[in-house]
């Protein structure tokens, strides 16, 4: 993979001062080849006159013309085409061949194993647009786009603007509203389409043909959430949705949850449910729908000038997506679920070595900015906006937002611009708020000292701040709970609650690391089972996770609390959530026999849960994950508990667990896939094959990491998860040294999103030793290591350091 240059902020500022883009006209031929496609781009722009460059990442260039004059096709160097513009009107025409990709970026092409049909979608975010069309790739050079697409005659094609098939295989699209390059998309393939409308807005949903029945089954719920969200966002903003149609495309092998492309939002298609799912996943889908809709205003109508204001997109969409879902859909419990799903993502990132401010994070180039696309940009920013809204009230908060939209409609803006809009709306001077909460990294730490009768507030080392916190405290006494509100304005605040347990900020009112004291931890095994307030239960587990992350609670105590009341109410087991944290972080450090204790506790809890309920499904999944009894697991394949169906998801969970235990060989796993060759099953096949305690399985997983075996993005991450299975340390020990030796070379076979994700997925998570930490820290100091690899390596090393701190604090 050629080393393309990443756009520097200084270069973007110089190019913006030189150029204004009038329009793009892009012609794509997707029908000629399975590997490459033709891309012809005509860019009209005005210039002050002088030297600049366009961004272009082709396989080959057929011709280049600037203002009618041919240019040498060999001018393109490391993704850049140098140009000598004239003052006034200019026109650049580029005829190039581009490569379809399988890493979730650029123009991604995949083949559905269910029916062998190909699907294409565009993901232009962060340096990827130039691999689809020639462009000036930065967020503040917006322009309208007109697309022309040739595709196989049985395909449908969608893009940002409305379009139609004018003759077999030939699609013409209307001119779009002004867009940043990273919003431009094309979705093409034999997609199944469902259409509707609401309040004058044409609505569409599309998915692969093989999951058409699943989309049809889910369409009513998706449209219901979409319509309710539109109504609420129109009410809050007082500004109509500005991009015409609203199509939601569910596409295969998508890296993120979704991408907010105006008029054609792309979602990962596991959000069309082919197996039974829990409420947690349904909430995730609903909040993702509302999140991407909020982006149509925050991000799309008004776009950041540069990536250091990425939070102006993501924090607002996170806050509003959760708020709208909670307020106007059936998922009124969204905030409790988000506490489980997202709180620790941001909190851990904010305590790590790569923490950064919410705003003004100093991103010097686009690639480094992608690494700040994290839990701070989403979760912490959302929490701070929620605090600000609580302080200002809706009238002032949204009054400022509307002023911001009106002043910068279809343009670009900065944090300073938004603060000015809020101040005009009556917020008062926000300089202090911005300095303490948005421009200073790291969270305060707040702890209760019962003996001294005080709450202690400690700012993060190296990021001094003087923040005030107002939050609720839950106090348990005489078997019941009461809630009090406290205000922390200094290093010490007098507070002496009388109770057996004291939970600080369990309802996520502020942003701080709050830790339960030892008396609270000791009381929780008796108290937690009786708590039926789901947000309070989430607060318990977030407090324990904060404490574990800071070596302030023992793994044994956490296991005792989980055994007393296993957290099945956190119905999903995504890696960021509580149960995955228990399995991956706590159990490796817990006393011998803890997995079996958890398994027995899960089985006991499972017997008490309503048959057919989502909690029962969550509990059964936990039983699979913690089981070490192969006969029990095989029995569940044919005779699961009443209320549980052995659908594709359940089948592959059991098979993957059997594989990790050495009780399912490659032939059995392949036969299971051959009997049901679906896209999600192919990912699970890779995970299960790599999970086997077998040298050949581990070597094959490693070949995926190095790129010797080419697999699309989802399978790369599944292979990493399968490689490092607990209990297989003797088998995987050689790969610890190989990881540090071979990680740098992965930058030659991958880029962007999946480069960093693979570095994290293949980090030797089961090698909890000081030697491994030292190797990680040494490699992270290598100046030649690619930035995305250094960032993920540094963060993974910090988590390992924290596990070692727990081992040291609680030996045995």
Q: What are the structural domain ranges in the chain?
A: 1-189
Low-confidence ranges of the chain (pLDDT < 70): 1-3, 361-362
**Which pLDDT score is estimated for 593?**
96
**Which pLDDT score is estimated for 361?**
65
Q: Given the structure tokens 């209990």, which residue do they identify?
A: 727
| Rounded distance between C-alpha atoms, residue 290 and residue 124, angstroms | 21
Report yes or no: 780 and 794 within 8 Å, Cβ to Cβ.
yes
In our burial notation (b when 16+ CB lie closer than 10 A, e otherwise), range 425-434 reads bebeebeebb
| Rounded distance between C-alpha atoms, residue 37 and residue 454, angstroms | 66
**Which pLDDT score is estimated for 1?**
43
Does the annotation count 11 as an active-site position?
no
| Rounded distance between C-alpha atoms, residue 491 and residue 454, angstroms | 10
Beta-strand pair 444-449/454-458: antiparallel
Mention every residue, 6+ apart, whose C-beta is less than 8 A from residue 87: 47, 48, 49
**Which pLDDT score is estimated for 362?**
63
| Rounded distance between C-alpha atoms, residue 397 and residue 497, angstroms | 34
Neighbours of 447 (CB within 10 A): 19
Name 206's bridge partners: 193, 249
Mention every residue, 6+ apart, whose C-beta is less than 8 A from residue 36: 59, 97, 98, 99, 100
Q: What is the pTM of this model?
A: 0.97
- Long-range CB contacts (< 8 A, 24+ apart) of 620-625? 620/644, 620/650, 621/573, 621/650, 621/653, 622/566, 622/568, 622/573, 622/579, 622/598, 623/599, 624/650, 624/653, 624/654, 624/657, 625/573, 625/579, 625/583, 625/653, 625/657
Task: Say whether 651 sits in a helix, a strand or coil.
Answer: helix
Taking alpha carbons only, the member of 636, 476, 623, 605 closest to residue 540 is 476
Q: What dihedral angle (degrees, nearest 10) is formed by the CA atoms of 668, 674, 675, 678?
A: 120
Question: Could you tell me how many helices (H) and strands (E) the chain has, helices first?
Answer: 28, 28
Backbone Cα Rg of the chain: 26
Among the listed residues 105, 232, 260, 292, the single catalytic one is: 292
| Rounded distance between C-alpha atoms, residue 790 and residue 803, angstroms | 20
Neighbours of 421 (CB within 10 A): 21
Domain 1-189 fold is Immunoglobulin-like (2.60.40)
Name 107's bridge partners: 122
- The fraction of the chain above a pLDDT of 70, given in percent, is 99
**Which pLDDT score is estimated for 355?**
93
């Amino acid at each position: 993979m050629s080393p393309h240059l990443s756009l520097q902020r200084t270069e973007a500022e110089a190019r913006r001062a030189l150029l204004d883009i009038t329009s793009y006209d892009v012609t794509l031929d997707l029908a000629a080849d399975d590997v490459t496609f033709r891309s012809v781009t005509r860019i009209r722009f005005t210039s002050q006159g002088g030297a600049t460059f366009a961004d272009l990442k082709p396989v080959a260039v057929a011709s280049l013309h600037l203002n009618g004059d041919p240019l040498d096709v060999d001018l393109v160097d490391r993704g850049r085409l140098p140009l000598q513009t004239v003052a006034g009107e200019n026109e650049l025409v580029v005829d190039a061949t581009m490569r379809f990709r399988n890493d979730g970026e650029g123009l991604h092409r995949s083949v559905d194993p269910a029916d062998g049909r190909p699907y294409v979608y565009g993901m232009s975010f962060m340096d990827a647009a130039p691999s689809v069309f020639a462009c000036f790739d930065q967020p503040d050079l917006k322009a309208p786009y007109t697309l022309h697409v040739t595709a196989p005659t049985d395909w449908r094609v969608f893009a940002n603007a409305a379009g139609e098939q004018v003759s077999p295989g030939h699609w013409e699209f209307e001119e779009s509203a002004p867009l940043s390059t990273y919003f431009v998309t094309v979705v093409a393939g034999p997609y199944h389409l469902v259409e509707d409308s609401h309040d004058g807005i044409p609505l569409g949903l599309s998915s692969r043909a093989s999951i058409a029945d699943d989309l049809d089954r889910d369409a009513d719920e998706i449209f219901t959430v979409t319509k309710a969200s539109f109504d609420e966002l129109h009410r809050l903003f007082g500004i109509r949705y500005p991009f015409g149609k609203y199509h939601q495309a569910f596409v295969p092998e998508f890296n993120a949850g979704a991408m907010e492309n105006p008029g054609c939002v792309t979602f990962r298609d596991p959000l069309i449910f082919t197996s039974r799912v829990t409420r947690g996943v349904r909430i995730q889908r609903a909040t993702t729908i509302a999140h991407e809709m909020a982006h149509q205003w925050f991000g799309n109508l008004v776009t950041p000038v540069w990536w250091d204001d990425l939070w102006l997109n993501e924090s607002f969409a996170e806050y509003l997506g959760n708020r709208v879902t909670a307020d106007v859909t059936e998922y009124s419990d969204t905030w409790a679920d988000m506490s489980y799903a997202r709180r620790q993502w941001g909190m851990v990132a904010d305590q790590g070595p790569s923490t950064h401010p919410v705003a003004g994070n100093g991103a010097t180039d686009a690639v480094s900015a992608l690494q700040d696309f994290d839990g701070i940009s989403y979760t912490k920013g959302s929490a701070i906006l929620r605090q600000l809204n609580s302080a200002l009230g809706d009238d002032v908060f949204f009054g400022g937002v509307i002023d911001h939209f009106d002043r910068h409609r279809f343009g670009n803006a900065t944090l300073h611009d938004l603060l000015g809009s809020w101040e005009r709306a009556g917020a008062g001077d926000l300089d202090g708020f911005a300095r303490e909460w948005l421009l200073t990294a790291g969270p305060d730490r707040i702890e209760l000292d019962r003996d001294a009768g005080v709450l202690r507030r400690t700012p993060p080392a190296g990021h001094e701040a003087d923040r005030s916190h107002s939050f609720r405290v839950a106090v348990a006494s005489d078997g019941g709970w009461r809630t009090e509100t406290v205000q922390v304005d200094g290093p010490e605040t007098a507070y002496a609650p009388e109770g057996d347990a004291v939970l600080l900020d369990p309802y996520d009112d502020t942003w701080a690391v709050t830790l339960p004291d030892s008396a609270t931890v000791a009381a929780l095994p008796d108290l937690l089972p009786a708590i039926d307030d789901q947000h309070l239960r989430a607060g318990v587990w977030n407090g324990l996770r904060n404490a574990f992350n800071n070596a302030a609670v023992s793994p044994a105590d956490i296991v005792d609390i989980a055994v007393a009341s296993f957290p099945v109410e956190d119905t999903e087991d995504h890696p960021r959530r509580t149960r995955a944290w228990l399995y991956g972080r706590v159990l490796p450090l817990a006393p011998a026999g803890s997995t079996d204790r958890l398994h027995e506790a899960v089985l006991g809890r499972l017997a008490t849960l309503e048959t057919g309920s989502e909690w029962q499904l969550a509990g059964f999944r936990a039983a699979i994950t913690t089981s070490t009894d192969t006969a029990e697991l095989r029995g569940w394949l044919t005779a699961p508990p009443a209320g549980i169906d052995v659908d594709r998801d359940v089948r592959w969970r059991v098979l993957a667990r059997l594989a990790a235990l050495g009780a399912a060989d490659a032939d059995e796993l392949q036969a299971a896939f051959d009997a049901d060759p679906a896209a999600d099953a192919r990912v699970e096949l890779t995970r299960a094959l790599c999970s086997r305690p077998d040298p050949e399985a581990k070597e094959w997983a490693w070949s995926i990491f190095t790129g010797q075996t080419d697999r699309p993005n989802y399978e790369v991450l599944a292979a990493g998860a399968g490689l490092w299975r607990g209990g297989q340390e003797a088998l995987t020990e050689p790969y610890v040294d190989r990881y540090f030796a071979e990680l740098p070379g992965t930058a030659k076979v991958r880029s962007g999103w999946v480069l960093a994700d693979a570095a994290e997925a293949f980090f030797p998570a089961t090698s909890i030793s000081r030697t491994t930490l030292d190797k990680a820290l040494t490699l992270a100091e290598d100046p030649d290591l690619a930035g995305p690899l250094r960032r993920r390596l540094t963060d993974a090393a910090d988590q390992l350091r924290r596990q070692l701190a727990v081992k040291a604090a609680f030996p045995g």
